[in-house]
Amino acid sequence: MGSSFGTRLCGVLATLILSTSFPGTAFADALSPAQVTRIGAIVQTALAQQHLVGVEVAVGRNGTTLFTKGYGLRDKAQNLPVTASTVFPIGSISKQFTAACVMLLVQQGKIDLNAKLATYLPNVPHSSEITVREILDQTSGLPDYVENKPLITALFGGTWMTHEPFAYYVNLTRGIPLEFKPGTKWKYSNTNYMVAGMLVAKVSGEPYERFLTQNIFEAQGLTSMQYLTWSIPAGTNVTRGYNYAKGAYTLVPRYDMSWGGSAGAIASTASDLVKWDGAFFGGKVISPSSVEIATTPPRHISMGMHAGHTQSNIADGYGFGWVAGHDEGRRIVWHNGGLIGARAMNAVFPDDGLEIVILTNATTADPEAISLRIARLLYAQ
């Protein structure tokens, strides 16, 4: 869901700096047959090289899907193909939805971003030392519950089958010191966003899932999106997850998704994520001023994830569930997601509204690289 966020990102950037660099040009409102063919070639190459099972791609502009297609299989045993409407878990892309829920409550005057967390959740570890803002931009210093060894062992062993409240996972970090003084450094921690889900529930007076569903999914017409109880989404056109090792694919056993919670338990189609991007950046979810706040990282704190190539620093800083950076001189705002048996990427080029979403059902996937290669293809035309 994100414990390997930094390691995976640096690998992606190191790969991409070896790619051909294209000059930026205007992005057309429609994809040509040649572009569609080349996107297919990019995905087919990734299927082979990354040992993927299935991939779903969507390209949009300002929330309108221009192209979407499934490649490969959503279920190997039954030989079922990925379609343009297959539902995949999206992992930590969920964080931008949780942050939007918090910002809705900020707009209603119910949450102060600069207030100490103890104002709302006094029982959370270190709550008197951390502000709400520091939770959302990952500068709190809270350790990551996903690094809890018994939890990880149970998840990878397929034995984690118990539904627990958000507080259970947050309390796995109780007694552990902060990793740094809040507001001075950045470090990715799923605990921050599990706490954010607790905050939404406490302040709204509703379960997080209900608030999310009513105020985001239903309000924006995101009909494919669902909050996961189990790692396999509900419905018929859904994906199964796979691992690949030593030349063989293995099916990931179904596991409980309460451990993902408000930090990573949403599933979606690629086209609904495009719709979400358009609504979010169009000011339809939260106000334009709130969008600016949510997508602007703290200026004095670097993520420290540059690959030493000035054209591909896609991780300049972390906002509220969005990473801000640039690729080939173009602004990019994005987030990826990783679960056992699923990896995803949601990339937005806000200056001209280009949106690229890649969903996969393999732990070995590198959807970040796929999305940037497609973007470079489109900008080269």
CATH number at residue 222: 3.40.710.10
> pLDDT value at position 158?
73
The answer to whether 267 touches 228, Cβ cutoff 8 Å, is yes
Gyration radius of the chain's alpha carbons: 19
115 has which bridge partners? none
Q: pLDDT digit string (tens) for 288-333? A: 999 999 999 998 888 866 544 445 689 999 999 999 999 999 999 9
331 has which bridge partners? 326
> pLDDT value at position 225?
98
> pLDDT value at position 159?
75
Q: Which tokens in the block code for residue 47?
A: 């299927």
Specify the number of domains making up the chain.
1
Place of tokens 């294209």: 22
Q: Domain range holding 22? A: 5-380
> pLDDT value at position 168?
95
242 has which bridge partners? 251, 362
Which stretches in the chain have pLDDT values below 70? Answer: 1-28, 304-312
Kindly report the backbone phi and psi dihedral angles of residue 117, in degrees, each rounded to the nearest multiple of 5, phi listed first.
-60, -30
Sign of the CA dihedral running 26, 32, 37, 43? positive
Residue type, 317: G
pTM of the model: 0.93
d(CA 137, CA 52): 32
SS (H, E, C) the chain: CCCCHHHHHHHHHHHHCCCCCCCCCCCCCCCCHHHHHHHHHHHHHHHHHCCCCEEEEEEEECCEEEEEEEEEEEECCCCEECCCCCEEECHHHHHHHHHHHHHHHHHCCCCCCCCEHHHCCCCCCCCCCCEHHHHHCCCCCCCCHHHCHHHHHHHHCCCCCCCCCHHHHHHHHCCCCCCCCCCCCCCCCHHHHHHHHHHHHHHHCCCHHHHHHHHHHHCCCCCCCEECCECCCCCCCECCCEEEECCEEEECCCCECCCCHHHHCEEECHHHHHHHHHHHHCCCCCCHHHHHHHCCCCCCCCCCCCCCCCCCCCCCEECCCCEEEEECCEEEEEEEEEECCEEEEEEEECCCCEEEEEEECECCCCHHHHHHHHHHHHHHC
Question: Strand 64-75's sheet: what is its strand order?
Answer: 80-81, 64-75, 54-61, 354-360, 342-349, 330-339, 323-327, 317-318
